[in-house]
Copies of this chain bind each other. A is one copy, B any other.
Amino acid sequence: MGELTLVRAARPARVKIAPKTELPLGQILAGDCVSEMRKLPDASIDLVFADPPYNLQLGGDLNRPDGSHVDAVTDDWDRFDSFAAYDAFTREWLTECKRILKPDGGLWVIGSYHNIYRVGAIMQDLGFWLLNDIVWRKSNPMPNFRGTRFTNAHETLLWASQGEKARYHFNYRAMKTLNDELQMRSDWVLPICSGGERLKGDDGHKAHPTQKPESLLYRVLLATTEKGDVVLDPFFGTGTTGAVAKRLGRDWIGCEREAAYRKVATARIAKELPLDESALTTMQSARSQPRVAFGAVVEAGLLPAGTEVFDKKRRWRAQVRADGSLLCGKESGSIHHVGKTLQGAPSCNGWTFWHYERDGEIKPIDAARQLYLLSVED
């Protein structure tokens, strides 16, 4: 797995990065996340994913129209006396996150409208720089049983870097691949965690009231970490972050106060198997790939000289020449230059503009580049 895209040029950090060997990798730290994080060295963590209490402030009981009772989140850990108390708690754990994150580290926090506005403002106050807010659109949310509001069908994730000028990691290419060759948007449609994925306790009841779906963590980790990175989750719960991190070949650390959650998480992560190298490699960022001359692809016989290439709408056709240039009428030159000139565009990515036909299928010539890259590996 290659390096991810490092976005934003900045001077190399002068902060001393703590080596991984000083970290309790693959461990669930038993205790309050603030005191546990305080034991960790500065600038040692690549990514924090945090799912803090939402401070729901629920009223009385709620029944469905069929009379059944809604099992609400009434756990002690979600009770705060006031917004001020919640803010103080939030400021405290976010401050520790800021300290232990590397200068190019990333922070994700998930929440609902009950807490996310406070969390977001405090993140900004502490100097975190918001990169995106992501909306998790639930495909199967709980309805509003009383018909009093809009169905609360989403939760919000905030993604931030250490500061306005800080570098951060974003695996643009992997996200685009995951999204069927369209840029990944800030709204993600994913189902809630249910069925076999939902962990049960010994009593057959759900082990944790707010277990997050693995698909959500999968996308977060794939987008903003690389293999071997260290991911910390201060509110580990049943360990979704740890399970997905292990699967994706990332190191992880969790903090969790409740012994029952730690027990479930430990068993769960033990069962998890890391994906093998080849599965992870396909998610590499195009920008960090070695540059490939079109000529090398031609040379390798993947798009032999004489092959006809064309744009997606077949407005233009061009011929591949032996030296890796294209010829289209009077225009000739690199794949990028010819594409740009024909369109009258300021620039053109020839790899995605030009296409070829193989076995009745039309593919961008970038597909041939990928094949070339595979063939030269090892």
Contacts and interface: CB of A to CB of B under 8 A. Distances in A.
Interface of A: 5, 7-8, 61-63, 67, 69, 83, 113-114, 116-121, 123-125, 130-135, 137, 141, 143-144, 147-154, 156, 158-159, 164, 170, 172, 175-176, 183-187, 223, 285, 287, 343, 345-348
19 contacts: A7-B149, A8-B148, A61-B346, A63-B346, A67-B343, A67-B345, A83-B125, A116-B117, A117-B130, A132-B150, A135-B137, A137-B137, A147-B176, A147-B183, A148-B170, A150-B186, A151-B184, A152-B186, A154-B187
Interface of A is mostly: mixed
B183 A151 contact: yes
Those 3 A-B pairs whose CB atoms lie nearest each other, nearest first? A117-B120, A153-B185, A67-B345
Contact of A137 (B5, B141, B187, B346): B187
A202 B120 CA distance: 40
B133 A113 contact: yes
Given A67-B343, A133-B113, A135-B154, A172 B147 contact: yes
Nearest to A65: B349
Contacts of A343: 67
A150 B7 CA distance: 13
Given A69-B346, A113-B133, A133-B156, 10 more contacts: A114-B130, A117-B119, A131-B149, A137-B187, A143-B183, A147-B172, A149-B170, A151-B184, A153-B187, A154-B186
Most B CB atoms within 10 A — which of A148, A150, A164, A183? A150
B113 A132 contact: yes
A124 B120 CA distance: 13
A345 B83 CA distance: 36
Contacts of A346: 61, 63, 67, 69
A291 to B, nearest CB: 16
Contacts of A184: 150-151
A141 B67 contact: no
